[in-house]
Amino acid sequence: MEFEVVIGLEVHAQLNTKTKIFCSCPTSFGDEPNTNVCEVCLGLPGALPVLNKEVVKKAIALGTAIHATINQKSIFNRKNYFYPDLPKGYQTSQFEIPIVEAGEIYIDFEDGTTKRIGVTRAHLEEDAGKNIHHGNVSHVDLNRAGTPLLEIVSEPDMRSSEEAILYLKKLHAILRYLDISDANMQEGSFRCDANVSIRPKGETKLYTRAEIKNLNSFKFIQKAIEYEVERQSNAWEDGVYEREVVQETRLYDTEKNETRSMRGKEDSAEYRYFPDPDLLPVLIPDDMLAECIQIPELPDQKRDRFLKEYGIKEYDANVITSSVEMAQFYETMISEGAGAKNAVTWLTVELLARLSHGMTLITSPVDAVKLASIVKRIEDGTISGKAAKEVLDYLMENCASVDEAIEKLGLKQVSDDGAILAIIDAIISANADKVAEYRGGKDKLFGFFVGQTMKESKGAANPSKVNELLKSRLDA
């Protein structure tokens, strides 16, 4: 039987405010456990939460970016559930009226086609703390408790793990372009729950879904979805679907590449939501809304501008704009005078290939100004493309300017006509027989003369000059 995959994603994005959502405790990552806590995030009796205004502004920015409805009145609810790492025993979240509803994100395929993925809602809530397990002993770090979260819930519109990853990468890029979250997956500030189900091809009914919890790597999200699809498909084929595929929360084991049952999945009624009596409804005035909907250029807009202004290929424009850091790096290269198409190659092919051991564009020893300088030295004929790779390798390991590296490595091209002609004339004199063959119609010998000239110049001769001057001499 042929099955259709149905995937919906819930993304938890930590917002990059300096303080928590309902108190003034800092949100800094990696501090000593249980040092960034107060009466509010510890849930002590009598402590009253106060909503962080910046959290609301950042939620409005996302809603604007995904063409969603911004609810100027929304409310916070108490979600009652046992959280060992949230001392109150409930989570303050939004349920009936979220701040953002009915948005959309378009994903881009390599063949140039696009697909709309609906976004049901994006609501504000507080993060829980973190459980740290050492053998049979568990510790709780409450520094993260109360960190502002934006939970972004998609429609079940994705039909493959590929589409899920494209959606997540686009959402990740939007958050970074808006600068509302650092979206650091390793630190857990961008994590995903995947709801996966299957159905016979052609049916529209939604079957039982399994939720795979707390995924924070694009690679593992894809693997977890693919495993779960295979598990459910096999259960259907084996006639045990109704027994083995139940509504539940599952965890993904990265070492065994399998999902396993964690707990039964609660419905909303089981959380016993009710409006939080300690928090007033969130009312967004018109002037605040007008201010917050002014957002920066987003990935799709930047891609379209790059295509129009720089004349680069659509694939290259998609790659460059896939992250805000790369787009900024590229535009700095252009502003420094590097040619648009050469800048693409030296950024996406040469520099990225040399980043290793956790190095990023931000931490790269060769910044945008230096890389632009290398490109300009190629374009003005100072060095060849091959020599430029040596310069880049040198600068990845040594602190120097581009011109200093060129001089130290002795890679400056000879572009003087007289010097190159002297080498060419000597080679022609020493190879009279091959000259005769070339002039007799054996055009392939031209490559021989180019090679000999470059060899004699120790690779320093400007290749375009060599070709030009050789042709004039041999065709004379």
| Percentage of residues of the chain with pLDDT beyond 70 | 97
Q: What's residue 417's pLDDT? A: 67
- What is the C-alpha separation between 15 and 130, in angstroms, rounded? 17
- What is the C-alpha separation between 387 and 339, in angstroms, rounded? 18
Q: Alpha-carbon torsion 88, 91, 93, 95, what sign? A: negative
- The alpha carbon of residue 400 and the mean position of all alpha carbons in its chain are separated, in whole angstroms, by 31
Q: What's residue 415's pLDDT? A: 63
Inform me whether the pLDDT recorded for 268 exceeds 60. Answer: no
Confidence of residue 207 (pLDDT cuts 50, 70, 90): confident
Contact by Cβ (8 Å): 217, 192: no
- What is the C-alpha separation between 58 and 39, in angstroms, rounded? 25
- What is the C-alpha separation between 454 and 416, in angstroms, rounded? 14
Mean pLDDT taken over the chain: 88
Inform me whether the pLDDT recorded for 454 exceeds 70. Answer: yes
Inform me whether the pLDDT recorded for 350 exceeds 90. Answer: yes
- What is the C-alpha separation between 76 and 275, in angstroms, rounded? 6
Inform me whether the pLDDT recorded for 461 exceeds 80. Answer: no
- What is the C-alpha separation between 387 and 379, in angstroms, rounded? 13
Inform me whether the pLDDT recorded for 277 exceeds 70. Answer: yes
- Lowest-confidence region among 110-124, 162-176, 433-447: 433-447
Q: What's residue 252's pLDDT? A: 87
What separation in angstroms does the CA of 209 have from each of 201, 216, 229, 245, 347? 16, 20, 10, 8, 42
- What is the C-alpha separation between 289 and 476, in angstroms, rounded? 75
- Which two tokens mark 147? 């960190």
What separation in angstroms does the CA of 32 have from each of 85, 187, 386? 16, 15, 49
Q: Is 459 helix (H, G, I), strand (E, B) or coil?
A: coil
What separation in angstroms does the CA of 281 have from each of 94, 121, 128, 284? 11, 18, 22, 10
Q: Where are the alpha helices (DSSP H) in 274-400?
A: 286-292, 299-310, 314-320, 324-335, 340-345, 352-354, 368-379, 385-397
Inform me whether the pLDDT recorded for 438 exceeds 80. Answer: no
Other Cβ atoms less than 10 A from the Cβ of 108: the count is 19
Q: What's residue 98's pLDDT? A: 95
Inform me whether the pLDDT recorded for 271 exceeds 80. Answer: no
Specify the pTM.
0.83
Q: Is 113 helix (H, G, I), strand (E, B) or coil?
A: coil
- What is the C-alpha separation between 190 and 221, in angstroms, rounded? 12
Provide the Cα torsion 154, 156, 159, 160; round to 10°: 50
- Lowest-confidence region among 99-113, 126-140, 297-311, 326-340: 126-140
